Amino acid sequence: MTSTPDSGKLLHDLRSKCSSLKSAAELYKDCSAAEKKEMLALMNAAAAEIVKILAQIDKA
């Protein structure tokens, strides 16, 4: 797929969100129960964003 400027930005967002998710997953096991809850909520939100971005990439 040839990247248009828009898809370039989408791919950047995708990389960024995935990186955060990966780093958060590495931290997760060492979090306290309360932090785990907060972290999980944020990870879920990031995962939802990733799904959204993937859909946009698919359309682009």
Partner 1 sequence: MEKLNILVLEDDKLAQKVMSAHLAGHNIDLAGDLKTALKKIEGGKYDIGFFDLMLGPDDEHSGLKAIAAAAAKGVYCVVVSSSDSDEIIDRAYALGANDFYAKGNEESNVSDILRKFLQNRKAAGARDIFSYAFITCDPETKAAASEALKYAPTELPVLILGPSGTGKTALAKILHEHSGREGAFVSINCSAYTEDLLEAEMFGHKKGAFTGAHETCKGRLLEAHKGTLFLDEIGTMGLNMQMKLLKAIEERSFYPLGSEKPEHSEFRIISATLEDPQALIAQGKMRFDLFQRVHGYTINLKPLTRRACDIAPLVQHFTSGRRRLAFTPEARAYMENYSWPGNVRELKKFVDLISSGSEGRIDINEVKKHLKGRDGGQPALAREDGLYSYAMTNGLEAALEKVSGEIISRNLRENEGKKTKTMADLKISTRLLYSTLKKLGIEPEGVKK
Q: Is 50 in the site for partner 1 (CB under 8 A)?
A: no
Q: Is 46 in the site for partner 1 (CB under 8 A)?
A: yes
What's CA 16's distance to the chain center, in Å? 7
DSSP labels for the chain?
-PPPHHHHHHHHHHHHHHHHHHHHHHHHTTS-HHHHHHHHHHHHHHHHHHHHHHHHHHH-
Q: Provide the mask over 13-42, with x wherever binding to partner 1 is found by CB under 8 A and - wherever it is not.
A: x-xxxxxxxxxx-xx---x------xx--x
Q: Which CB sits closer to partner 1, 1 or 5?
A: 5
Q: Which stretches of the chain bind partner 1, using CB under 8 A? A: 9, 12-13, 15-24, 26-27, 31, 38-39, 42-43, 45-46
